[in-house]
Amino acid sequence: MKRREDGGSPAIDLFRLAAAILVTAIHTSPLAALTPIGEFFLTSVLARLAVPFFFMTSGFFTVTRYARDRRALWAFEKRTALMYLLATLLYLPVNIRNGYFSRPGLAWELIRDILFDGTFYHLWYLPAAALGAAIAWALIRKTDYPCAFAVTGALGLVCLFGDSWFGAAPQAAGPFYSAVFRVMDRTRGGVFMAPLYFVLGAALRDTKRRPSRRVSAWGFMVTLVLMTGEALTVAALGWARYYTVYLTLPACSFFLFALLLTVRGGRVRWARSAALALYIVHPLAIIAVRAAARALGLWGTLVDNSAVHFLAVCALSAAASFPAAAIFERLRPKRAPSSTGRAWRELDIPALEYNVRALGALMPPDCSLMAVVKANAYGHGDFEVSRELDRLGVRAWAVATVDEGAALRSFGVHGQILVLGYTPPERAWELRRHRLTQTVISEEYAKRLDSAGVKLRVHLKLDTGMHRLGVPWDDIQAAAGVFALKRLRVTGVYTHLSCSELRDGNSREETLKQDRRFRAALRGLEERGLAVPPCHIQSTYGFLNYPELSRGFIRAGLGIYGVLSSPDESTTLSPDLRPVLSVRARVALVRSVPEGEGVGYGGPFRTPGARRIAILPVGYADGVPRTLSGGTGYVLLHGRKAPVVGAVCMDQMAVDVTDIPEAAPGDAATLMGRDGEETLSAPTVAALAGTITNELLSRLGARLPTVLHD
């Protein structure tokens, strides 16, 4: 298993350098003197993939449907603005020499240049990237991909008809383009070209179904041929104002990017700064090579020979930019590799996918999964879990509170979110604002919710024997009353089983009784002429032990996390679910404690002999139950059991490693999960701690950082 940072690929990083060199080729025409058609292919077709590739790369790493906040976008905007400022200063002397500041209408020109055309020829890329990222982000987060593609695709067409298809632009668009060209020289700048590529990059990051290497390779080759044909055609028809974009360019860029993504491996971080630096300085290198050629009387060799000129510019650009990039990479604060420095949780993403598929395979066809992600997704991390499940296609969610629902919505998940618990009616507007579905827990509650004055979707909960929340099953009058309320729309009816964990005679009888009562209530509603919406009755155990009771949704929590309530349980259906979560902590120090000493807070514990004790920097504030104290629980270290010594403290605990001589500071101890041949499962830890898996998991501290495994 590999640690996943951001899903990138070394090929993406390295291709940035190639792309920067392709841009240099556009500005030096390396094959001009050798083969005109080769030159056309290189600089008017192939090299045109470079800028879209840069945009897609930034989109891939910055823009996403799923985000906790806007931090990634802001960081990108700040970095781009800083680069723009530095590059502008770098080219200031050249601009001054060219008489930039003595032109008429300078103020207007300045605004145009800063926003759209770039403060120097090629620098248009930077403001376009800043705008493109912001537009793509807003569209994807606020409206989702179909709309984002439609809008940015339309902008892309505006760019196309102002560029290589200019001659084919509809007559009616004439005034529009005159207006556009008053604000910018070319339609590649500003809002027209970049957003589409940012959306494409983001889509490739967010999807679970990227094209395979084969499909990408074929797609790339075919679209490249098509693009060459298109370029030749617009040239022959005399349409082209420029050769920057083509109708086939988005598809060709997409397949190229997808193809590069199929190369797995570690990131090559220096390449990204080096490529950007190369891009920024290459025009300076062109100026320098020309100046040197003039000074040395080598114009014929260094400039007229276009291939040598190109190579000289590349060499000089690299010589100037690579050391700068190396210094920049050194100065840059290293992204802390410390998420595994103290204590952390690990999520096995393939296990999560497997569990969802395994449960799905057992469900009847008209039944779907409602993923229960309350309590920080049972301590697994609600953001990470809901993002992965949404990418897998889960479209129904259950949470306990309105705040959990709002958080889930802000992460970018699709579909309905059901709040299982009580929400104060005065917060009804928040339910509405975040498009949450509220559970109706009693008739009186429904009336109060209705009088809050906002239209809401609700699921009606019926109490069939649990006697916790819900309208009594035999009070059809009350249940029907909820349907009659003006502002509440009942989009589901459900109940909760109280004994479905067990299969003994009494539990079975109780469960079947609840089901009978539920059906009787539904019949009662139907007899009153009400259209009964989708119903649900089972949680994980209800489904695994009583699959014949399945209805519209299975509300599964434990099942998707791949654990049961207690160890060695058997269920009627027993898909071999895989645990998703591991919890680990680093050994902070190992010490020898002589016989008869205490360890930790002054309890009765005394070492029975000389012991070696390892201190783990994790405690009950992280969710390690205090009831594991004093030898009740253990952790795994080097694949062996190390019993807990003394009391588990808030932030520390001690384990006995006398029999694990190789234990040393920095070792990863497993508090839950697999270590070598040994597994310490969540149900086992829960049983040792005298509780059930749900309680153990849901109390896992928010203090633990999360590491994902692909």
Ligand X SMILES: *Cc1c(COP(=O)(O)O)cnc(C)c1O
Catalytic residue positions, numbered: 374, 601
Residue placing its CB nearer to ligand X in the complex, 84 or 541: 541
Q: Exposed e or buried b for every residue in 517-555, given b needs 16+ CB within 10 A?
A: bbbebbebbeeeebebbbbbbbbbbbbbbbbebbbbbbb
User: Should residue 47 be labelled a site residue for ligand X when binding is judged by CB under 6 A?
Assistant: no
What residues from 480 to 509 belong to the interface with ligand X (CB under 6 A)?
A: 496
What is the CA 322 to chain-centroid distance, rounded? 31
Which one of the spans 193-201, 358-366, 555-563, 621-629 is the region binding ligand X (CB under 6 A)?
555-563
Specify the stretch interacting with ligand X by CB under 6 A; choose among 12-20, 26-34, 310-318, 551-559.
Answer: 551-559
User: Smaller CB distance to ligand X: residue 164 or 571?
Assistant: 571
Please report the DSSP string for 435-487 in residue order: TEEEEE--HHHHHHHHTTSS-EEEEEEEESSS-SSSEETT-HHHHHHHHH-SS
Q: How far apart are CA 215 and CA 118, in angstroms?
A: 37
Q: Shortest approach of ligand X to residue 698 CB, angstroms?
A: 9
Exactly one of 127, 412, 557, 579 binds ligand X (CB under 6 A); which one? 557
Residue 562 binds ligand X (CB under 6 A): no
- Asked if 555 interacts with ligand X (CB under 6 A), we say yes
Q: How far is CA 242 from the centre of its chain?
A: 37
Size of the site for ligand X (CB under 6 A): 12
Nearer to ligand X, 249 or 556 (CB): 556
| Residue 398 Cβ vs ligand X, minimum distance, rounded to whole Å | 6
The number of beta carbons lying within 10 Å of the beta carbon of residue 329 is 15
Span interacting with ligand X, options 103-111, 171-179, 312-320, 556-564, rule CB under 6 A: 556-564
Q: Does 438 bind ligand X (CB under 6 A)?
A: no
551 binds ligand X (CB under 6 A): no
Judged by beta carbon, residue 156 or residue 623, the one nearer ligand X is 623
Residue 541 found at the interface with ligand X (CB under 6 A) = yes
Give DSSP secondary structure letters for 144-171: -HHHHHHHHHHHHHHHHHTTTTGGGS-G
If binding is defined by CB under 6 A, does position 540 make contact with ligand X? yes
Two tokens, residue 689: 């701690």
Select from 536, 523, 524 the least CA-distant residue to 496: 536
Query: Is residue 558 near ligand X by the rule CB under 6 A?
Result: yes
- Find the residue with minimal CB distance to ligand X: 557
56 closest CA partner among 199, 158, 209, 181? 199
Please, what is the minimum distance in Å from the beta carbon of residue 444 to ligand X?
20
Query: Cβ 351 to ligand X, closest distance in Å?
Result: 16
Examine residue 546 and tell whether it contacts ligand X (CB under 6 A). Answer: no
Q: Which of 189, 84, 159 is CA-nearest to residue 126?
A: 84
Q: Going by C-beta distance under 8 Å and a sequence separation of 6 or more, which residues neighbour residue 593?
A: 599, 607, 610, 611, 612, 613
Binding flag, residue 580, ligand X (CB under 6 A): no
When asked if residue 303 is in the footprint of ligand X (CB under 6 A), the reply is no
Q: Is 372 in the site for ligand X (CB under 6 A)?
A: yes
Does residue 380 interact with ligand X by CB under 6 A? Answer: no
Please, which residue, 560 or 616, has the CB nearer to ligand X? 560
Residues present in the chain in total: 710
Question: Do 186 and 162 meet the contact criterion of CB atoms below 8 Å apart?
Answer: yes
- Pick between residue 418 and residue 663 the one whose CB is nearest to ligand X: 418
Q: Which residues of 222-233 are buried (b: 16+ CB within 10 A; e: fewer)?
A: ebbeebbebbee
Q: Any contact of residue 559 with ligand X (CB under 6 A)?
A: yes
Rounded Cα gap, residues 33 and 306, in angstroms: 6
Q: Which of 636, 635, 620 is nearest to 695 (CA)?
A: 620
> Which CB sits closer to ligand X, 64 or 693?
693
Cα–Cα separations (whole angstroms), residue 43 to 49, 228, 400, 477: 10, 11, 58, 76
465 binds ligand X (CB under 6 A): no
Q: Which residues pair with 368 in a beta bridge?
A: 553
539 binds ligand X (CB under 6 A): yes
Asked whether position 556 contacts ligand X by CB under 6 A, the answer is yes
Contacts of 394 (CB under 8 A, 6+ apart): 356, 369, 371, 415
618 binds ligand X (CB under 6 A): no
Q: How deeply is 392 buried, as exposed, middle or buried, from its count of CB atoms within 10 A (0-12, 13-18, 19+)?
A: middle
Token representation of residue 148: 């984002």
Q: Which stretch binds ligand X (CB under 6 A): 121-129, 141-149, 513-521, 539-547?
A: 539-547
Stretch that binds ligand X, among 423-431, 511-519, 550-558, 611-619 (CB under 6 A): 550-558
Closest contact distance (angstroms) between CB of 571 and ligand X is 11
Which one among 46, 128, 420, 685 touches ligand X, defined by CB under 6 A?
A: 420
Closest listed residue to residue 470, CA positions, set 415, 536, 403, 547? 536
Nearer to ligand X (CB atom), residue 559 or residue 600: 559
Residue 372: CB minimum distance to ligand X, A = 4
Q: Of 215-223, 295-303, 553-561, 651-659, which part binds ligand X (CB under 6 A)? A: 553-561
Burial class (CB in 10 A: 0-12, 13-18, 19+), 92: middle
Q: Which is nearer to ligand X, 9 or 442 (CB)?
A: 442
What is the smallest separation between the CB atom of 470 and ligand X, expressed in angstroms? 10
Distance separating alpha carbons of residues 706 and 344, to the nearest angstrom = 6
- Min CB(612)–ligand X separation in Å: 40
Q: Is there binding between residue 396 and ligand X (CB under 6 A)?
A: no
Closest CA to 491 of 461, 524, 511: 461
- Of 303 and 458, the one with the shorter C-beta distance to ligand X is 458
- Which residue's CB is nearer to ligand X, number 67 or number 370? 370
- Helix/strand/coil (H/E/C) assignment for every residue in 69-121: CCHHHHHHHHHHHHHHHHHHHHHHHHHHHCCHHHCCCHHHHHHHHHHHHCCCH
Q: How far is the CB of 691 from ligand X (least distance, A)?
A: 14
φ, ψ for residue 535 (rounded to 5)? -120, 155
The contact mask relative to ligand X for 53-72 (x = CB under 6 A, - = no) is --------------------
Shortest separation between residue 380's beta carbon and ligand X, angstroms: 12
What DSSP line would sit under 554-591, residue for residue? EEESHHHHT--SSTT---SS-------EEEEEE--EEE
Using CB under 6 A, list all residues that contact ligand X: 372, 374, 420, 496, 539-541, 555-559
